[in-house]
Structure 1
Amino acid sequence: MSLESSLQSVLTNPTYLSVWVAIVAASLAVLVWDVRSNNDEMAPLMKFVWGLTVLYSGPLGLGMYWYSGRAQISHDSLWRKGSRSVAHCYSGCGAGEVIGVTLAAGLLALGTSLVIVVTFTFAYAMGYALTVGPLMQEGVGFGEAAKDALLTETPSITLMEIAAIGTDVWLAGEAHIGEVLFWSGLVFSLTIGLLVAYPINVYLVHRGVKGGMQDPTERRQAA
């Protein structure tokens, strides 16, 4: 049995899917409990970011939050900054990918090439919006905010979506919106994109291109 067939078999197995849903639900419950009990001062944007990251990737997303997003971490580091940075990118791009794939492949039943184009477009749009929006709220003009988003987010989004969309097309390119594989393949591909994009985010933070989001230990020090 090929790797593709093996993964498809796992991703359509009712037992596996039931266990995964339960694990994701438990991970979300832990995230919500910890944010409300111990990290309620976290910026609303990062609450949104971590919520979507855990929703997409379950225990992996929760582990990233525990490692880099809590005020209770012992200290900040390059690797933690990279973790927050990739989660920020992942939350927006993931939403764009879900919308794009559902619209292009599911509702419009477009061909593979058009599905890829539409999905990339939505992923870029959502990924940039998650940077442009907060900057404009801080008083930065649209042009400057858009330029900053293009500079800081393009490498991460590009690698993330090449990996995620490529994996989704490979595993579930023939699946219809009503099939389990359409959705489970999409979820699996999102996590692949996250893992592939993490190193580039660490590198961009190291080079000073990205800031790594706010150091959560500053909340503890302020308190």
Structure 2
Amino acid sequence: MDILDTLHDAIDTPAFLIGFLALMLPSLFWLIRDLQRRNTHLMPLMKVVWGLTVIYTGPLGLAIYLWSGRKEIATDSLPRRAFRSVAHCCSGCGMGEIVGVVVAAGILSLGSVWVSVITFALAYAAGYALTVGPLVQDGVPLRTAMRDAVVAETASITVMEVTAISVSLWLAAGAGMGDVRFWTALIVSLSCGLLAAYPVNVLLLHFGVKEGMMDPRMTDHDGHDHQGDPATAG
């Protein structure tokens, strides 16, 4: 119980939020400079994915990018592919989660059940759209893209959001948008969701349910957003 109390006390202070911003902003700046100087060849979609991942998780997102998302990686591997895949998932779901928590819990002050339902629905819709949109743009029929996105993304999104929403509700219980704990709980929940969904993505890639994002060393330079098999590119 002491550990839980300590965690609650830690995120309930402005110092936690200030500390996160002090780490996140330099991480984001470094990422943007690296994308501009050394990794301009990456697809526009993945540049957005990495930017959002760093905004949500700070140094954790930057570390994932350094290890798996740059052309400078020595080799590619299943663990690296899984991190690119989970970052892609997190970037979309994170948008939905932030909107859901802010609207349902912060503005409307709804109960935990409604907060969970609304947040999950928005997170799933955002993550789903981030997969379907590029596929349709690449010429995949809408029905096929929707079916493949459901198959490839449902398990990852479910684990990510069940974890993130649970952590957010647990840490921010009773907090409103004017409370530091409301925002720090959201930050912690996004990182927890990403980490929880990582092994799921390892399994999805291992069993061929999804192809994942292309090796950053092999990314095409033709300006298209297509990365990986169009049927499983989440």
TM-score using structure 1 length: 0.96
* Corresponding letter in the other structure for 2:39: N
Q: C-alpha displacement at 1:143, in angstroms?
A: 0.8
Tell whether the 8 Å contact from 1:4 to 1:171 is kept in structure 2 after alignment: no
The CA deviation string for residues 79-130 of structure 1, in whole angstroms up to 9 with x for no partner, is 0000000000000001100001111111111111101000000010001000
Within-5 A mapping of 1:162-181: 162-181=162-181
Structure 1 residues 39 and 156: CA distance shift in structure 2, 3 A: same
AA of the residue aligned to 2:70? R
Task: Work out the CA distance in 2 between the residues paired with 1:40 and 1:188.
Answer: 30
| Percent identity (aligned) | 51
- CA displacement at 1:75 relative to structure 2: 1.2
Who is 2:211 aligned against? 211
Q: Does the Cα contact within 8 Å between 1:67 and 1:73 map onto a contact in 2?
A: yes
For residue 100 of structure 2, what is the aligned residue in structure 1?
Answer: 100
Give the letter aligned to residue 193 of structure 1.
Answer: G
State how far apart, in whole Å, the 2-side matches of 1:68 and 1:132 are.
Answer: 23
Given that residues 24 and 58 in structure 2 are in contact (C-alpha distance below 8 angstroms), is that contact kept between their aligned partners in structure 1?
A: yes
| Contact map agreement 2:81 2:213 (CA 8 A) in 1 | yes
Deviations 1:5-60 (A, max 9, x none): 21121112233322221110010011001100000111010001000000011111
Q: Which residue of 1 aligns with 2:144?
A: 144
In the alignment, residue 159 of structure 1 is paired with which amino acid?
V
Pairwise CA RMSD: 1.5
Letter in 1 for 2:199: P
Say if 2:75 is the partner of 1:75: yes
Indicate the residue corresponding to 2:189 in structure 1: 189
Shift of 1:177: 1.3
Q: What amino acid maps onto 2:113 in structure 1?
A: S
Residue 48 of structure 2 corresponds to residue 85 of structure 1: no
**Alpha-carbon contact 2:165-2:189 (below 8 Å) kept:** yes
Matches of 1:61 and 1:212, distance apart in 2:
17
TM-score (norm 2): 0.91
Q: Is the 8 A contact 1:71 1:220 kept in 2?
A: no
Q: Deviations over 1:156-201 (max 9, x none)?
A: 0000011100011111021111111111101101100011000010
Structure 2: which amino acid aligns with 1:30?
W
Question: Which of structure 1's runs of 4+ aligned residues deviate more than 6 A?
Answer: none
Q: 1:221 to 1:110 in 2, by over 3 A?
A: closer
Q: Secondary structure at the match of 1:217?
A: coil
Q: Distance in 1 between matches of 2:115 and 2:125?
A: 15
- Cα pair 1:92 1:123 within 8 Å, conserved: yes
Kept in 2: contact 1:28–1:58 (CA 8 A): yes
Unaligned residue ranges in structure 2 (runs of 5+)? 223-234
Shift of 1:220: 9.2
Give the secondary-structure state (helix, strand or coil) at the position aligned to 1:181.
helix
2:159 paired residue number = 159
- Measure, in 2, the Cα distance between the counterparts of 1:116 and 1:79: 30
Q: Is the 8 A contact 2:89 2:157 kept in 1?
A: yes
Mean CA deviation greater in 171-180 or 91-100 = 171-180
User: Partners in 1 of 2:42 and 2:138 — Cα distance?
Assistant: 17
Contact 1:72/1:220 (8 A) holds in 2: no
CA distance in 2, matches of 1:166, 1:92: 18
Partner Cα separation in structure 2 for residue 33 and residue 167 of structure 1: 33
In structure 1, list runs of 5 or more residues that go unmatched.
none
2:109 alignment partner, SS class: coil
